[in-house]
Amino acid sequence: MMVRIFKTGTGSAKSAINYLMGNNDHTGQPRSVPPELLHGSPSMFQLVSNGTSRKHKYVSGAISFRDTEKPNAAQIQKIMDAFKASFLPGLKDCDNYADAWIAHRDKGNLELHFVVAGTEMQTGRQLNIHPPGKRNIEHFQAYTQVMNQAMGYNQVTPDPLKVALSEFEAKSQAGKQSRRVKTLLAKELHGHIVSGRIADRDELITHLEDNYGEVTRVGNDYISIRLPGSAKAKRLMGPLFQEGADYQQLVEQHKKAQQPQKLTAEEYTQAKATLEKLTLERAEYFAKRYKKKTTFKRTIRRKGGVKGQPETMPNLPAQKPTEPVKTASKPALPVTMPSEADVATVASTQAKQADHGAVARGAAPSHTAKESEGSSAVQFASIPTTSVTAIGMEMQLGSLANLVSKLMVKARTTTNTMYYEVLNAQIIKLQYQMAQLSLNLEAEKVRASLDASQVADKGKPKI
């Protein structure tokens, strides 16, 4: 098995879900086996991904298996759990992040496609499971090595004599011609390099110019060549085209890649140590980056054990269960979602504060509300309401809280899974709005309080 991260994530999340869950493949042909949703909520993923103005909205990738690698239901679940424990350590599903996992089996092998929204749900900050840098590459390599060894699969050993293909060339129907040209070129170069007729990069450049066309540019890790009859040059990338490449060493690596590879006991121990170290580093980074910071009074309930502690890497089962992978059932409501009682308390508190503001202005209160002690709902009693804007925000919060309460009742009583997901997505969206409005309300109250203090200070004699 191997993990691939696609160069996508800047467009609409809806397009990604439509492709992954669609009945047609990337060529437009009907899939022989329909996609299967294994985990997550596509609607929640779309909502969180499209709720940001950042360029990069989500990360998309796939865990691909060879034709001979056929993990069973329990093993598939363990692989997904291990992935999230490695690259989303310390974060909770539906609490901190939104994802979806879809199985594709129409190519004869299994591909576990995954999408992860690029926003941490509690803070609204960017969440990137595949950041640039050498450490991240080592992290994914260590995960792949450990899982392949634990599953009894051969290790993935890249062939350094292959020409790298872009995602467009590898998957798109429009890139078929370019893929064909590069594949034929790589096959011809392969024979010359293995036989020793091309001994280094300089001889490779000379061979390309003498036999294929004009070499238009030579970079540190690529060579661009314009083939006869082609308006644009093609960029050739891979270890073969890198500056300073040792062709003799590449040939040895090529021969080694043709043989099934397993890690030695020492290599496996080292891979596990690397995976644990990099996972812990990421967990500590997440704990620091997504730490909740508040200036208003509220109760924070910590979940998920010790802060910054990554989840334990699950052990793979020794035997293969026979049950098939089941389509994801109706998901549970997010753990951060308040109960109807808490939502009602929010509405009551906001309405009561609005009445206090109305009394301060000399108006009659609209209604009375019972005091709520020890509630986990957001409270702003420590700061008096002196701004008309703040009062409007409080009333809006009350309205949103009532709406969330009604939607939650519908979500808990419906038996329609698709309708449940729609309701669930609407609830999450409203909770985002309430959280943002609460922050704005706090800032407005502080501003109004400072303005009132300045007005009062103007009437005092200066000493």
Residue 304 lies in a domain: no
Q: Which amino acid is at 156?
A: V
**Any domain includes 328:** no
Which pairs from 54-57 meet CB under 8 Å and 24+ separation? Answer: 54/118, 54/119, 54/126, 55/10, 56/9, 56/10, 56/118, 56/126, 56/128, 57/9, 57/10, 57/11, 57/12, 57/13, 57/117, 57/118, 57/119
Same domain, 148 and 44: yes
Distance CA 63, CA 144 (A): 9
pLDDT at 178: 66
Record the tokens describing residue 229, joined without a space. Answer: 């009859």
What domain range includes position 378? 340-458
Residue 130's pLDDT is what? 95
Residue 179 pLDDT greater than 50, yes or no: yes
83 band by pLDDT with thresholds 50, 70 and 90: very high
Return the minimum-mean-pLDDT range out of 57-71, 78-92, 304-318.
Answer: 304-318
Same domain, 276 and 228: no
Instruction: Point out the least confidently predicted range of 32-46, 160-174, 238-252, 396-410.
Output: 160-174
For 87-104, the pLDDT digits (tens) are 999 999 888 999 999 999
pLDDT for position 76: 96
Average pLDDT, the chain: 76
Q: What is the number of structural domains in the chain? A: 3
Q: What is the pTM (predicted TM-score) of this model? A: 0.56
- 39/28 Cα distance (integer angstroms): 25
Same domain, 172 and 212: yes
pLDDT at 262: 85
- Residue 25: predicted pLDDT: 83
The per-residue pLDDT for 164 is 61
Terminus-to-terminus CA distance in the chain, angstroms?
Answer: 78
CA distance 199 to 159: 17
More confident residue, 454 or 333: 454
The verdict on 35 and 128 lying in the same domain is: yes
Instruction: Supply angle C-alpha 277, 273, 78, rounded to 5.
Output: 90
Indicate if 136 and 270 belong to the same structural domain. yes
Q: Which pLDDT band holds residue 297 (cuts at 50, 70, 90)?
A: very low
Q: How confident is the model at residue 452 (pLDDT cuts 50, 70, 90)?
A: low
Flag whether 330 is in a domain.
Answer: no
- Taking 80 as the threshold, does the pLDDT of residue 329 lie above it? no
Sequence-distant (6+) residues with CB within 8 A of 244 are 201
DSSP 250-305: HHHHHHHHTS-----HHHHHHHHHHHHHHHHHHHHHHHHHT----SS-------SS
Q: Dig out the tokens for 333 from the structure.
A: 């409501």
Q: Are residues 227 and 276 in the same domain?
A: no
Nearest alpha carbon to residue 390 among 438, 456, 426, 343: 438
Least reliable range by pLDDT among 244-253, 288-297, 306-315, 423-432: 306-315
Q: Is 311 inside a domain boundary?
A: no
Instruction: Please report which confidence band the pLDDT of residue 330 belongs to, taking 50, 70 and 90 as the band edges.
Output: very low
